[in-house]
Amino acid sequence: MLRNKIEIFEYQSTVLHGKVSVCDSEWFTIGSYNINNLSAYASIELNVDVYNASLAARAEELLRSIMEKDCITITPDLHKRIKNPVKQFIRWCSYQFIRIIFYLVTFNFRQIR
């Protein structure tokens, strides 16, 4: 994401599973849905899309306030400083393991439907 000039803000106050996204100050989506097979086939997840420019603008203001007060910005420099080849390899292996498990679990759910 950093290579594609996407800003990343890491929330520091607590663990947060919810997701919010605002698009062009015109609409926003809020919920718990992950873009993966587990959310699609096995988990009970929900997002609400709101097509209202004034609400979207307000949501964007609230997000900016949270980003300023409760988040750290993950910059390319910070990412390079905390980047560790061993940790990256462990994360990659963990990701692959979880991906395989999710695939196996959701494959069974897809077959049932």
**Structural domain boundaries, residue 78:** 2-82
In a domain, 102, yes or no: no
SS3 29: strand
Number of domains composing the chain: 1
Distance of alpha carbon 6 from alpha carbon 24, whole angstroms: 15
In a domain, 46, yes or no: yes
Residue 8, exposed/middle/buried by CB under 10 A (0-12, 13-18, 19+)? middle
User: Which of 107 and 87 is assigned the larger pLDDT?
Assistant: 87
SS3 24: coil
Q: What is the pLDDT of residues 14-72, one digit of tens each?
A: 877 788 889 999 999 999 887 776 667 667 788 999 999 999 999 999 999 999 999 99
pTM: 0.63
Which residue type does 12 have? Q
In a domain, 18, yes or no: yes
